[in-house]
Chains A and B, each alone.
Chain A
Amino acid sequence: MSEVFDRSWTGWLRPDGRKGVRNLVLVIYTVQCAAHVAHAIAAGEKDVQVIGFPGCYDNQYAIRLVLSLARHPNVGAVLSVGLGCEYTQPARIAEAVEKSGRLADSFFIQDEGGTRSSTEKGKAIVRRLRERIHAETPRVPMDFADLILGAECGGSDGTSGLVGNPAVGRLFDRVVDAGGSAICEEIVEMIGLKDVILARAVDDRARAELEAAYSKAEWYCREVRQYSVSPGNFAGGLSTIEEKSMGAFAKSGSRPLQGEIKVGETPPWPGMWVMDSVPDPHFMQFGYTNPNDTEGIMDLISGGSQIVLFITGRGSVIGSPVSPLIKVTGNSRTFRRMEEDMDFDAGRVLAGELTLDAAADELGAMVADVAAGAQSKPEALGHREYFVMYKHQDTPDLERGCRSAA
């Protein structure tokens, strides 16, 4: 193994034992009516970011997703802001966050006055929280064994499966070999690959989990008559979902698949994991699987990913809250055209300028730099897109235990 994957840096230690690569205050609004005030609170504040849920009616899936981000290793403190009429309760969110050993506060806008007074109150709170987590959070050595990396692809083209995703897959092999973890979701982009996926399962338990998740995804896509392949994918040379799937699956590398986790669930032990983000059957079918790239990135962060790699052949201008996004393209033309947004040009492998192994090393060094505090391009540009939607997923089986509780 190259020495890149022996690198260490300084991270932030959370009370649950997990380590973060950022130390953020997260402002969480509990209904769309509070979105403006939440963003006004965070505006211009360093290390303060926003997520929120738009609906007035609450949803168990959304609450689980929001809490997994609120108690993420990159987050040190939370301010939850509601309007006052909605079902989702900011105080309950703050209480759950405090139980995790983090600092938290909450209020209803209707109790404080209006836009200006709520914004002023919120700013005072986030400044106090930020000061405290910067002063009080222990700094600890951190290495690849402490990392969970996520991978999402979007705006895929014919180069994505050829080199963009394989470069990330090779990186993930190295990270897993170093004792770390990686997560792929987009199980609807595994359609057509049942045998390929099951052959990668580490044991019978994992095979059964993956088979159930695969079968549900195939059923779901047939039911809604919608497959995860877009006009841009077709224009970029991908002709069928099967072709896109095989290219997308390349980002999982070659190591054994440890099994399947649900949205909001952290991998219970290290290795390569598949996340199931497809809605489970429910009396009212609602929720869409992977409605856009941002939703998938949120899912990966909910699984504890401290950094997410985003592979795009055609180019993209999104980022993410909580965990930095690193943009990789296998298309050198796209890299040149969108260099202000693209972090890594894997197209150099196709041009014969470097090997896939060398690309994985370079990408690993970039991950270590970002983990150590360097900003990725989407992060530096201020991209913090988020998307929390109504969906139904069965509650994950907590019997398996959670590494975060260790």
Chain B
Amino acid sequence: MTSAFQIHRSDNVATLLDDAQDRVTLRGESAGEVVLREPVKLGHKVALADIPAGAAVIKFGIPIGTAKAAIPRGAWVHLHNIESGFDERSGSFDVATGVGKDMSYE
């Protein structure tokens, strides 16, 4: 089964080491399994706990952003549900490709 790596013991997300459809085995700072609510790709993050709206998303032991809405355990954590404490622009980008939608090519 695909693994997801928890880097720091206080992290509430883990990073996928390959693409996964329905579940991952945890490695690093925790063990066990997480049932995915949706497919998650290599390098992307899965929530290890229920993260309330407005709470910090923790990776490497530091806050990497804030939950825009409640994120349940097993959910894909990315641009659509967390926001940076600095970068105001990237929240509107395409969630799959990361391409900005705010630049005119007219």
Add 16 more A-B contacts to A192-B84, A243-B65 (CB < 8 A). A192-B86, A218-B86, A222-B86, A227-B86, A231-B94, A237-B16, A237-B78, A239-B57, A239-B78, A239-B84, A240-B82, A240-B83, A241-B90, A246-B60, A247-B60, A313-B43
Q: Which partner residue on chain B sits nearest A233 by CB separation? A: B98
A234 contact set on B, CB distance < 8 A = 78-79, 90, 93, 97-98
A157 within 8 A of B: yes
Q: How far is the CB of A321 from chain B (nearest CB, A)?
A: 30
Interface residues on B, range: 35 or more
B44 within 8 A of A: yes
B84 contact set on A, CB distance < 8 A = 192, 227, 239-242
A222-245, CB < 8 A from B: 222, 225-227, 229-243
Say whether, besides A158-B43, A231-B100, A313-B43, A246 and B62 are in contact (CB < 8 Å).
yes
B82 contact set on A, CB distance < 8 A = 239-240
B26 within 8 A of A: no
A231 contact set on B, CB distance < 8 A = 93-94, 97-100
B64 engages A240 (CB within 8 Å): yes
B54-105, CB < 8 A from A: 57, 59-60, 62-65, 77-79, 82-90, 93-94, 96-100
A237 engages B88 (CB within 8 Å): no
A239 engages B77 (CB within 8 Å): yes
B86 contact set on A, CB distance < 8 A = 191-192, 218, 221-222, 227, 240-242
B90 contact set on A, CB distance < 8 A = 227, 229, 234, 240-241
A63 within 8 A of B: no
A162 within 8 A of B: yes
Chain A: how many interface residues by the 8 Å CB criterion? 36
B99 contact set on A, CB distance < 8 A = 231
Contact of B65 (CB < 8 Å), options: A162, A193, A239: A239
B1-31, CB < 8 A from A: 5, 7, 15-17
A318 within 8 A of B: no
B98 engages A230 (CB within 8 Å): yes
B-binding residues in A (CB < 8 A):
157-159, 161-162, 191-193, 196, 218, 221-222, 225-227, 229-243, 246-247, 313, 331, 333, 350
B37 contact set on A, CB distance < 8 A = none
A-binding residues in B (CB < 8 A):
5, 7, 15-17, 41-45, 57, 59-60, 62-65, 77-79, 82-90, 93-94, 96-100
In whole angstroms, how far apart are the Cα atoms of A243 and B79 in the complex? 12
A196 contact set on B, CB distance < 8 A = 62
10 residue pairs bridging A and B, Cβ less than 8 Å apart: A158-B16, A191-B86, A192-B86, A221-B86, A229-B90, A231-B98, A240-B65, A242-B86, A243-B59, A243-B60
B42 engages A242 (CB within 8 Å): no
B62 engages A242 (CB within 8 Å): yes
B5 engages A236 (CB within 8 Å): no
Q: How far is the CB of A225 from chain B (nearest CB, A)?
A: 6
Say whether, besides A237-B78, A239-B79, A241-B84, A192 and B64 are in contact (CB < 8 Å).
yes
A218 contact set on B, CB distance < 8 A = 86
A240 engages B87 (CB within 8 Å): yes
Say whether, besides A221-B86, A227-B86, A158 and B45 are in contact (CB < 8 Å).
yes
Contact of B5 (CB < 8 Å), options: A162, A225, A240: A162
Q: How far is the CB of A111 from chain B (nearest CB, A)?
A: 45
Q: How far is the CB of A226 from chain B (nearest CB, A)?
A: 8
Say whether, besides A192-B86, A221-B86, A222-B86, A246 and B59 are in contact (CB < 8 Å).
yes
Q: Which partner residue on chain B sits nearest A244 by CB separation? A: B64
Question: Most chain-B CB neighbours within 10 Å: which of A159, A192, A221, A235?
Answer: A235
